Amino acid sequence: MRNKITVIGAGHVGETAAWNCARLELGDVVLIDIVEGMPQGKALDMFEASPIFPFDAKITGTNDYADTAGSDIIIMTAGLPRKPGMSRDDLLAKNIQIVKECIGRASKASPDAIIIVVTNPLDAMVEVARRVSGFPKERVMGMAGILDSARMRAFIAMELGVSVENTHAFVLGGHGDSMVPLARYSTVAGIPITHLLPQDRIDAIIERTRKGGGEIVSLLKTGSAYYAPGLAAAQMADAILGDKHKILPCAAYLEGEYGLDGIYMGVPVQLGRKGIEKVIEIELTDDEKAALYRSADAVKSLFEKFPADLK
């Protein structure tokens, strides 16, 4: 039987994730949204594209969770995006309600699924999804680190004029301005960028990575990034469904790792068919640890704003 992937939210990120899952032939894709007709229209358009550079995936749109039943993967993208001047945290109250409703229904329809949350503020929304679904932590994770590291990789490639394929970047922490890009572990063809670039250029790359989402928001003016986020979510689905045991930075629920407990944080994890197979712990300097804990405090402060029924 083919894999089934449900993408909740057929907006910019959702449609891009669905499109990439289909093009990569990860399985059949169900696109669901609250707006009537729109997911059906987008799914039909995608399916009609499939004979051109052929890819074999059934893509359907719906407004009914019954059609999502038995999914292997649920990619959660429904929710408000940022507008210029907004922080990701400004989305909290509204998106909590949306994640509660969508994950409540989708997790009942697909009790064995693995949930990948994309909705912002990411680290808080993935915790909402964990609590609402009641799924074990291995099966509820968030997408942000792949995007943040891809941005850093792109900036390193621009700076050095090398192929993006030669770059590797390492970003830990929450998906916000407090994220922790680690230069020591970011490399070009295996060489740490600390050997290739002066500190002021590295600092500029780190700063641009931290503000990477905001840079796109202020250019677009009407919403936030979606090409890279949609593809990043598809990469997680690919690692899981292909049982690749692939190490990728994801938001994972920590219980003691990195000295953090009961919180979602972006850390390197190994992804396979069961979801998160393990959290990879790397050694951090005191400064790096302090930055990670600052990021954790920023995420925890959002948990405190959860409504009573989620506490």
**What residues are annotated to the active site?**
175
Provide the minimum distance between the beta carbon of 189 and ligand TXD in the complex, in angstroms, as a whole number. Answer: 27
Q: Between 212-220 and 199-210, two packed helices, what is the crossing angle to 10 degrees? A: 60
Min CB(49)–ligand TXD separation in Å: 19
Q: Which DSSP state fits 173?
A: B
Number of chain residues interacting with ligand TXD (CB under 6 A):
34
Which residue has the CB atom at the shortest distance from ligand TXD? 11
Across 27-36, b (16+ Cβ under 10 Å) vs e yields bbbbbbbeee
Q: Does 14 bind ligand TXD (CB under 6 A)?
A: yes
Q: CA 241, CA 113: separation in Å to the nearest integer? A: 11
Q: Is position 299 an interface residue for ligand TXD (rule: CB under 6 A)?
A: no
Q: Under the criterion CB under 6 A, does residue 143 sit at the interface with ligand TXD? A: yes
Type of residue at 73: I
Residue 9 binds ligand TXD (CB under 6 A): yes
Residue of 113, 5, 114 lying closest to 57 (CA atoms)? 5
Site for ligand TXD in 216-235 (CB under 6 A): 223-226, 229
Sheet (strand 191-192) strand order: 167-168, 187-188, 191-192
Adjacent-strand bridge partners of 261: 255
- Counting contacts by CB under 6 A, is residue 92 touching ligand TXD? no
Which residue's entry shows tokens 């690919």? 238
Q: Which of 118, 206, 239, 299 binds ligand TXD (CB under 6 A)?
A: 118
Binding site for ligand TXD (CB under 6 A): 8-14, 33-35, 77-82, 91, 95, 98, 101-102, 118-120, 122, 143-144, 147, 175, 223-226, 229
